[in-house]
């Protein structure tokens, strides 16, 4: 990568950057190592250690008598057949800022956008119904001939920009290339051109004897998705995160070893703000697993690592953020340390709350909530599937231990949600200190069906409605979830199906 001294992307009102910044114009020609650095580091370091001895208010909350939300089935998108192709597996889910649109990406490189049904908001009782709004092919499979590597079309992340006009804009990325898409409606067409017929055939200028005034005529509504920007050639390793800044002018993209800052209007250069790549790759001990901008402060962002740490960086103090402003880390208990400790402590997702005060991190076994004002330890820790701890050895052998579960906040920051195995997903009420396990399955795919809490038993004595830990299906996993920003409506991706649930009204 070529490093050039520049000063840019800073507002006049901000203090001048405290250091130099790097500009990325092309991928690192000297990096020939595998882009699966995350898994490599976790496995190798675990083996080494074994030998040396791991803001707004939700509208119309309808709760049960004890204050707990009752969830019911709303919709399911996608075929419910058991025969599923790899390309149809959902790889990301994201509501836009007002919850009117819901986007999903899949392993086939497609983006499907759903729109809230206007009737479902006004009918009594209110429903959380969505209909298909637009479908388009975001990415195609590519081949890197220099490194003899296939670049998958799988959509890793989707992030919406705040709406400024009639059109909607979103960012989508695969392992290497980020694209900015404009999604707009078209319900009128122009007729009466002078130089061409309405069918599109060009007219002979010699046969034009009079001038016509083109007119706008109504047509059937058409939703059009067009790529406006393509941001490429800035990442040597696989992109795992993109996050739009609160200024709506810049965004960051993160791979295993670097974080780049982009301007949405500039595609041919990015500012490298974090680089943890060692000079000697044999000295590599950790990789970046997720990164996100602060929702309110445009100068702050956080990124997590495979060592279970989270770093908060302030771009006002230095344009190069290799040195963090805060380090959030919980010390391991030496008495409980095992071969798997470092693997399960790797953070797969990090999200800052809507209020900007708290931060949530998801590792393999737990969700932790941090106060951004306190680095020493999390203020809340929620076990997700503690019953799997005795099965870590088999989960390591089948590679499930490397699954990357995401997490999300509710609009009020009172609830948090994440996925688990057997199509289970977990919800935690931070105020009431309650939690519930629910299941996304075809058996409950009937309108207004109330979801029954599920429980997993470890021993041989199984109660009614409980499921044995030995009966869990580890091929059915919920990695991606999203919560409507203003209402109690959640979207849960289960293999190729998108389930929508809402609070019972």
Q: pLDDT tens digit string along 174-188? A: 999 999 999 999 888
Where b means 16+ CB within 10 Å and e means fewer, 154-165 reads bbbbbbbbeeee
CB 228 within 8 A of CB 247: no
Is 50 exceeded by the pLDDT of residue 374? yes
Residues whose CB is less than 8 angstroms from the CB of residue 403 and which lie 6 or more positions away in sequence, other chains included: 348, 364, 477, 479
Where b means 16+ CB within 10 Å and e means fewer, 95-124 reads bbeebbbbbbbbbbbbbbbbbbeeebeeee
| Average pLDDT of the residues in 137-142 | 96
| Average pLDDT of the residues in 275-297 | 95
- Written as one string, the DSSP assignment of 99-131 is SSEEEEEETTSEEEEEEE-HHHHHSSS----EE
pLDDT mean across residues, the chain? 86
Query: Distance (Å, rounded) from C-alpha 483 to C-alpha 503?
Result: 12
Residues whose CB is less than 8 angstroms from the CB of residue 235 and which lie 6 or more positions away in sequence, other chains included: 27, 175, 176, 253, 255, 258, 260
Q: pLDDT tens digit string along 480-504? A: 999 999 999 999 999 999 999 999 8
Query: Distance (Å, rounded) from C-alpha 132 to C-alpha 119?
Result: 15
Has this prediction a pTM greater than 0.75?
Answer: yes
Q: How far is CA 117 from the centre of its chain?
A: 24
Is 60 exceeded by the pLDDT of residue 377? yes
Residues whose CB is less than 8 angstroms from the CB of residue 38 and which lie 6 or more positions away in sequence, other chains included: 240, 256, 287, 289, 306, 346
User: For the chain, what is the total number of helices (H) and then of strands (E)?
Assistant: 4, 33
In this structure, what token pair is assigned to residue 332?
């391991």
Question: What pLDDT is attached to residue 455?
Answer: 93
| Average pLDDT of the residues in 288-312 | 97
Confidence tier at 265 by pLDDT (50, 70, 90): very high
Tell me the three state secondary structure of residue 387. helix
Query: Distance (Å, rounded) from C-alpha 229 to C-alpha 294?
Result: 24
Query: Distance (Å, rounded) from C-alpha 229 to C-alpha 265?
Result: 8
Which residue shows structure tokens 């049904």?
A: 117
Which residue shows structure tokens 């599920």?
A: 454
In this structure, what token pair is assigned to residue 260?
């780049």
Task: Write out 458-487 in H/E/C secondary structure.
Answer: CCCCCCCCEEEHHHCCCCCECCEEEECCCC
Kindly report which listed range (27-41, 308-322, 455-469) carries the lowest average pLDDT score: 27-41
Query: Distance (Å, rounded) from C-alpha 41 to C-alpha 47?
Result: 10
Question: What pLDDT is attached to residue 38?
Answer: 52
- Written as one string, the DSSP assignment of 389-436 is GGGHHHHHHTTGGG----EEE-TTSSEEEEE-BTTEEEEEETTTTEEE
Task: Provide the strand spans (E) within 232-309.
Answer: 241-244, 250-254, 258-263, 270-275, 288-293, 300-305
Is 80 exceeded by the pLDDT of residue 313? yes
Q: pLDDT tens digit string along 200-236? A: 788 888 888 888 888 888 888 889 999 999 999 999 9
- Written as one string, the DSSP assignment of 19-37 is S-BEEE-S--TT--S-S-H
Is 60 exceeded by the pLDDT of residue 59? no
In this structure, what token pair is assigned to residue 391?
């099965």
Query: Distance (Å, rounded) from C-alpha 499 to C-alpha 423?
Result: 11
Question: What pLDDT is attached to residue 66?
Answer: 56
């Amino acid at each position: 990568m070529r490093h050039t001294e520049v000063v840019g992307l800073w507002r006049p009102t901000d203090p001048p950057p405290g250091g130099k910044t790097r500009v990325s114009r092309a991928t690192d020609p000297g990096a020939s190592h595998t882009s699966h650095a995350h898994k490599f580091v976790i496995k190798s370091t675990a083996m080494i250690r074994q030998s040396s001895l791991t803001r707004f208010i939700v509208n119309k909350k309808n709760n049960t008598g004890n204050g707990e939300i009752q969830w019911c089935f709303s919709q399911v998108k996608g075929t419910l057949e058991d025969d599923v192709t790899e390309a149809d597996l959902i790889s990301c889910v994201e509501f836009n800022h007002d919850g009117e649109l819901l986007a999903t990406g899949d392993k086939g490189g497609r983006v499907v956008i759903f729109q809230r049904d206007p009737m479902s908001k006004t009918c009594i009782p209110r429903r959380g119904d969505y209909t298909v709004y637009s479908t388009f092919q975001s990415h195609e499979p590519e081949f890197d001939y220099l490194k003899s590597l296939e670049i998958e079309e799988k959509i890793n992340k989707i992030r919406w920009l705040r709406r400024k006009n009639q059109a909607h804009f979103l960012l989508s990325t695969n392992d290497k290339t980020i694209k900015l898409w404009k999604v707009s409606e078209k319900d009128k067409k122009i007729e009466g051109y002078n130089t061409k017929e309405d069918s599109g055939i060009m007219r002979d200028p010699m046969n034009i004897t009079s001038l016509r005034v083109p007119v706008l005529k109504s047509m059937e509504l058409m939703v059009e998705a067009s790529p406006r920007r393509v941001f490429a050639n800035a990442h040597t390793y696989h992109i795992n995160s993109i996050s739009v800044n609160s200024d709506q002018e810049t965004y960051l993209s993160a791979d295993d070893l670097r974080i780049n800052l982009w301007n949405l209007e500039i595609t041919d250069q990015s500012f490298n703000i974090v680089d943890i790549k060692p000079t000697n790759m044999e000295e590599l001990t950790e990789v970046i697993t997720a990164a996100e901008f602060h929702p309110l402060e445009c100068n702050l962002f956080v990124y997590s690592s495979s060592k279970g740490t989270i770093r908060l960086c302030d771009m006002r103090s230095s344009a190069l953020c290799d040195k963090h402003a805060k380090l959030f880390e919980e010390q391991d208990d030496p008495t409980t340390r095992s071969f798997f400790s470092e693997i399960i402590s790797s953070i797969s997702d990090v999200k800052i709350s809507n209020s900007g005060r708290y931060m949530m991190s998801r590792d393999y076994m737990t969700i932790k909530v941090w106060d951004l004002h306190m680095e020493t330890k999390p203020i809340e820790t929620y076990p997700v599937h503690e019953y799997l701890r005795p099965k870590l050895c088999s989960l390591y052998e089948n590679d499930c231990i490397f699954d990357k579960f995401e997490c999300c906040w509710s609009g009020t920051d009172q609830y948090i949600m994440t996925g688990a195995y057997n199509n289970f997903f977990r919800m935690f009420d931070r105020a009431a200190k309650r939690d519930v396990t629910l299941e996304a399955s075809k058996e409950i795919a009937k309108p207004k069906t109330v979801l029954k809490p599920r429980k997993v038993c470890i021993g041989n004595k199984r109660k009614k409605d409980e499921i044995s830990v030995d009966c869990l299906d580890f091929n059915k996993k919920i990695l991606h979830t999203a919560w409507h920003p203003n209402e109690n409506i959640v979207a849960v991706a289960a293999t190729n199906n998108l389930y929508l649930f809402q609070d019972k009204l």
